[in-house]
Amino acid sequence: MRDDPPSGSKPTRRTFLRSTGTSAAAAFVVARVPASAQAAPKPPPGAPEGPNIEGAISVSLRINGKDHALRVDPRTSLLDCLRETVALTGTKKGCDHGQCGACTVHVNGRRVISCLTLAVMHDGEEITTIEGLGMPGALHPMQAAFLAHDGYQCGYCTSGQIMSAVALLKEPCGPDDAAVKELMSGNICRCGAYTNIVAAIQQVRKNA
């Protein structure tokens, strides 16, 4: 006899994270804010997202086609802003020092590492993360190709790999595998899925 809840209501890891992300992040930040700030009245509707942090700066980011008016500590990297303030956890933090590429996103259509840039430097700019690329059932061709070619094992570097690969399609890149490997060298995969990643990218380039 099965007594599982109907599969439709079963929370997945992803839906669980999405539902708890914002509140968990807010709780974390509030714990570091002085009591006086915590006692501040709730901001009116339409006020910037995010807690009332001393010295915070207003910044407006257009993320995956949606405008976000935010208040962030000036130290906040674009990566931490996406993950902790906006609760888009698809972008991963690997080394946090520009050495691994896991945090790759697009700013105004170009790929950058989001760990070595500040959120406040991107006021008014267009950010695209893995969540803005495709959706389950309507995957970006690169996402579908990574699936078809097993371009990952643990998956931690995958969103960065895919964001890099999508940007590569618009960059000057020679036709052979060596050219792709060179332009993907900023994305490290500790599982070693490189051969399949290159195959996935080459398939998308051939079909383009």
Partner 1 sequence: MHTFKFVRPSDSSAAIAMAATAKTAQQGADLRFIAGGTTLLDLMKLNVETPARLIDINRLPLGKIEATADGGLAIGATVRNSDLAHYPAVQRDYSVLSQAILLGASAQIRNMATTAGNLLQRTRCVYFRDTAMPCNKREPGTGCSAITGSNRMLAVLGTSDQCIATNPSDMCVAMAALEATVHIQGPKGKRAIAFGDFHLLPGNTPNRETVLESGDLITHVTLPPPVAGSKQVYLKLRDRASYEFALASAAVVLTVTGGKVTRARIALGGVGTKPWRSPEAEAALVGQAADGTSFRRAAEAAMKGAKPQSENGFKIELAKRCLAHALQTAAASG
Q: What is the contact surface with partner 1 in residues (CB under 8 A)?
A: 55, 57, 73-75, 77, 96-98, 101, 104, 110-113, 115-118, 120-121, 164, 167-168, 171-172, 181-187
> Which of 66, 62, 82 shows the shortest CA–CA distance to 127?
62
Shortest approach of partner 1 to residue 90 CB, angstroms? 17
Shortest approach of partner 1 to residue 124 CB, angstroms? 10
| Nearest residue (CB) to partner 1, 187 versus 196 | 187
- Compute the radius of gyration of the chain from its Cα atoms: 19
Number of H helices, E strands in the chain: 7, 5
Look at residue 60 and give its three-state secondary structure: strand
Let me know the angle formed at the C-alpha of 117 by 43 and 55, rounded to the nearest 5 degrees: 35
> Which of 78, 76, 84, 71 shows the shortest CA–CA distance to 28?
84
Shortest approach of partner 1 to residue 7 CB, angstroms? 39
| Nearest residue (CB) to partner 1, 154 versus 179 | 179
| Cβ atoms of 111 and 105 closer than 8 Å | yes
| Nearest residue (CB) to partner 1, 40 versus 95 | 95
Cα–Cα dist 110/108, whole Å: 6
| Nearest residue (CB) to partner 1, 29 versus 116 | 116
Shortest approach of partner 1 to residue 1 CB, angstroms? 53
| Nearest residue (CB) to partner 1, 89 versus 187 | 187
